[in-house]
Amino acid sequence: MIKLENVSKTFGRGVDEVHALHNISLDIGRGQIYGVVGASGAGKSTLIRCVNRLEEPDNGAVWVDGEEITALQGEGLRQARRKMGMIFQQFNLLSQRTCAENIAFPLEVAGVSKSNRKRRVQDLLTLVGLEDKARAYPAQLSGGQKQRVGIARAIANNPKVLLSDEATSALDPATTDSILELLKDLNQRLGLTILLITHQMEVVKKICDHAALLENGRLVESGSIANLISNPLSRLSRAFFPPIIEVPKDSTAVQAAITFIGGVADEPILAKLVRRFDVDVNILGGSIQEIGGKRVGQLQVEFKGDQMIATLEYLRGLGLRVEVSE
Amino acid sequence: MSFEEWFPRLVQASLTTLYMVGVSTLLTVLFGLPLGVLLIVSDSKGLSPKPALNKILGVVVNLTRSLPFIILLVVLIPFTRWIAGTSIGPTAAIVPLTIAAVPFFARVTESALREVPSGLIEAAQAMGSSEWQIVSKVYIPEALPGLVLGVALTLINLLGYSAMAGAVGGGGLGDLAIRYGYQRFETEVMLVTVVLLVLFVQMVQSLGDRIAAKVSKR
């Protein structure tokens, strides 16, 4: 649905030259919620802004729904932008317009008739749960309500794609959750493809099914959340879990972090293990969380015994991700 | 000069001032607003960067603003005659008044529009707005409180300029104060005129503040 091919962008010249993006290629499928994570300054914002050409890429091509955005000019580009919604960290609502008028803005721009606008705005207000705020001005709304207006505005023209530029970064945790739920809901009900950038790992955990890590303008890793979690080398998935606690151990013991995903989490694996092998298992810590809609557990354990290698093999054979700490 | 003598003159002069200042304010907004918009839009970071045009406009605006009004008034006499058919009288004075105030109001507009957060412009662009839609639906409505204050400021400025309109027979309050109050030592006339001018400025400013507050939804 969204495809980037070798997109590069450099700011400044000479000594001030900054490579904001370095040969970025991404392929985002229809209906996916794709999260791009990175520290500030990694180039996330530039990346998402290249998709609707708020930022002009120096090189490379961008396609949205089969249309090459980077080949468009003038009216063609404006038409294409009307098929993409965008929401922002600072909401960017017009302060002189009421909620209803803000939501009507993209409809006005697209030339929708007044009566149709009115009907559509009413539906959108209901969809985001702000029926009673139609006549309120943005200054009278809370951050979460403002972002709901922003979302309603972004999807007013029935776009297939929603770009979310740090949309929850200015919100408190509870409000962030409610906004993420709304996005997830829109994704499922309308089949909306969402590309979001964020520095909050929580956002990726809660709603993304795919993710990529951006570092100094380069895509360091990317893939489906399920694949990332089961890959012990993935830095993204490591960031999903609480850091492994350093516990002093004696030289004969092996410490390991075992990650369970989905169905395996329901099996009494440790009990089976102890019955099968001659090992003692000592649980050091653990957590269960929901990542990308799947239950994922992580256990930090200490093994003692003779059949260490066989034990680890057995666990890996079950499809578990096992990280042994040295 | 007795009260009966100067009072009708005072009324007449007040009306003349209102006429000159009112009409030239209208004309100033009419020409200055688009000029201010053009300054913003053609800026190197604007919607449609046109550095050469921006530079030229900037120079013209600064040039006009750097001339003292009394000099502009004289320099413009041929142009005034061409536009208004005459170079004397209140109607003729409107021409230099407008020309002096347009660059001022253009700058005021420019700075009011610059206050509009760039995020709003980007959001409008992301929604596929044309440049005209961004100007008419984002820039101007969002800057409206600032623009209202700018109009009040321009009115007050024009009032000051209009005092010099007497030099070309424009008449008005300033002219009355100079000719009767100063040159003929009619202290009464001078005092009343000054009070009237002060009241007028106060009124315009507080009205401007009130309207600006009323239209601001921030």
Q: Is A153 on the interface with B (CB under 8 A)?
A: yes
B78: tokens are 């041929």
Q: Say which range, A47-56, A147-156, A215-224, B205-214, has the weakest mean pLDDT.
A: A215-224
Which 189-218 residues of chain B touch chain A by CB within 8 A? 215-218
Q: What is the band of A265 on the pLDDT scale with cuts at 50, 70, 90?
A: low
| B164-183 residues touching A, CB cutoff 8 A | none
The span from the CA of B184 to the CA of B79, in Å, is 33
pLDDT higher than 90, residue A295: no
The answer, for A69 touching chain B at a CB cutoff of 8 Å, is no
B119 within 8 A of A88, measured Cβ to Cβ = yes
Q: Return the percentage of chain B with pLDDT > 70, whole number.
A: 100
Q: Which chain B residue's Cα is nearest to A111?
A: B129
% of chain A surpassing 90 pLDDT: 56
Position A297 confidence tier, pLDDT thresholds 50, 70, 90: confident
Contact between A161 and A81 under an 8 Å Cβ cutoff? The reply is no
Residue predicted with more confidence, A315 or B29: B29
Q: Are strands A210-215 and A33-37 parallel, antiparallel or unpaired?
A: parallel
- Residue B186 pLDDT exceeds 70: yes
Please give the C-alpha separations between residue B129 and each of B8, B102, B104, B107, B125, in angstroms, as whole numbers. Answer: 56, 29, 29, 25, 5
Supply the mean pLDDT for chain B. 91
Mean pLDDT of A135-153: 95
B3-41 and B90-114 helices, crossing angle to 10°? 40
Is B128 close to A80, i.e. CB distance below 8 A? yes
Instruction: Report pLDDT for A263.
Output: 66
Residue B120 — very low, low, confident or very high, per pLDDT cuts 50/70/90? very high
Distances (CA, A) of B63 to A88, B56, B102, B115: 41, 10, 12, 25
Q: What Å distances lie between residue B193 and A52, B68, B155, B187, B201, CA to CA?
A: 61, 23, 18, 10, 12
pLDDT surpasses 90 at B130: yes
* pLDDT at res. A37: 92
User: Would you call B138 and A94 a contact, using CB atoms and an 8 Å cutoff?
Assistant: yes
pLDDT for the residue B41? 95
Contacts of A323 (CB under 8 A, 6+ apart): A232, A244, A256, A257, A258, A259
pTM: 0.85
Q: Do B126 and A86 touch (CB under 8 A)?
A: yes
Q: What value of ipTM does the predicted structure carry?
A: 0.85
Question: DSSP for A195-264?
Answer: EEEES-HHHHHHH-SEEEEEETTEEEEEEEHHHHHH-TT-HHHHHHSPPPPP----TT-EEEEEEEEGGG
At A305 the pLDDT is 82
Q: At B166, phi and psi to the nearest 5?
A: -55, -30
Of the listed ranges A14-23, A41-50, A61-70, the one predicted with least confidence: A14-23
Mean pLDDT score of chain A, rounded to an integer?
88
In the predicted model, is pLDDT for residue A264 greater than 70?
no
Which of A92, A108, A110 is closest, CB to CB, to B123? A92
**What average pLDDT does this structure show over A141-163?**
95
For the sheet with A193-198, list strands across it: A84-88, A161-165, A193-198, A33-37, A210-215, A218-224
Is A11 within 8 Å of chain B by CB? no
Residues of B in contact with A97 (CB under 8 A): 141, 217
A169 at B interface, C-beta within 8 A: no
d(CA A30, CA A154): 18
Band of the pLDDT at A316, cuts 50, 70, 90? confident
Kindly list the residues from chain A whose CB atom is less than 8 angstroms away from the CB atom of residue B133: 108-109
Q: Is the pLDDT of residue B184 over 80?
A: yes
Give the HSE-up count for residue A10: Cα atoms under 13 Å, Cβ half-sphere: 11
Put simply, the answer to whether A137 touches B217 (Cβ < 8 Å) is yes
Q: What number of CA atoms fall less than 13 Å from residue A262's CA on the CB side?
A: 11
Q: What is the mean pLDDT of residues A239-267?
A: 74
* Pick among B48, B127, B142, B214 to test the A interface (most A CBs inside 10 A): B127
Please, which residues 120-139 of chain A have a Cβ atom closer than 8 Å to chain B? 137-139
Please give the pLDDT value at position A266: 65
A80-134: per-residue pLDDT in tens?
999 999 999 999 999 999 999 999 999 999 999 999 999 999 999 999 999 999 9
Least reliable range by pLDDT among A294-308, B107-121, B133-147: A294-308
Angle between helices A143-154 and A99-109 (to 10 degrees): 20
How far apart CA A280 and CA A278 sit, in angstroms, is: 7
Give the residues across from A24 on adjacent strands: A7
Interchain CB distance below 8 Å, A109 and B129: yes
Worst-scoring range by mean pLDDT, A200-209, A215-224, A225-234, B88-97? A225-234
The pLDDT of residue A252 is above 80: no
Mutation target to probe the B interface, by most B beta carbons within 10 A, among A52, A54, A55, A96 is: A96
Beta bridge partners of residue A294, listed in sequence order:
A291
When CB atoms are compared, the residue of A79, A86, A139 closest to B217 is A139
Interval B157-175: pLDDT, tens: 999 898 887 767 778 888 8
The answer on pLDDT for A168 being more than 80 is yes
CA distance A258 to chain B (A): 45
Cβ(B109)–Cβ(B170) below 8 Å: no
Beta bridge partners of A33: A194
Residue with tokens 């800026």: B43
Q: Which residue of B has its CA nearest to A51?
A: B126
CA-wise closest residue to A92 among A166, A161, A24 = A166
Q: Give B70-85 pLDDT, tens digit per residue.
A: 888 889 999 999 998 8
pLDDT for position B110: 96
Q: Check CB contact under 8 Å for B124 and A54.
A: no
Share of chain A above pLDDT 70, in %: 95
- Subunit contact B142:A80, Cβ cutoff 8 A: no
Distances (CA, A) of B185 to A44, B2, B179, B194, B197: 74, 13, 9, 14, 19
Q: Please name the amino acid found at residue B90.
A: P
Q: Does A94 touch chain B (CB under 8 A)?
A: yes
CB count in 10 Å sphere of residue A171: 21
Of B120, B128, B217, the CB nearest to A82: B128
| A chain contacts of residue B120, beta-carbon cutoff 8 Å | 92-94
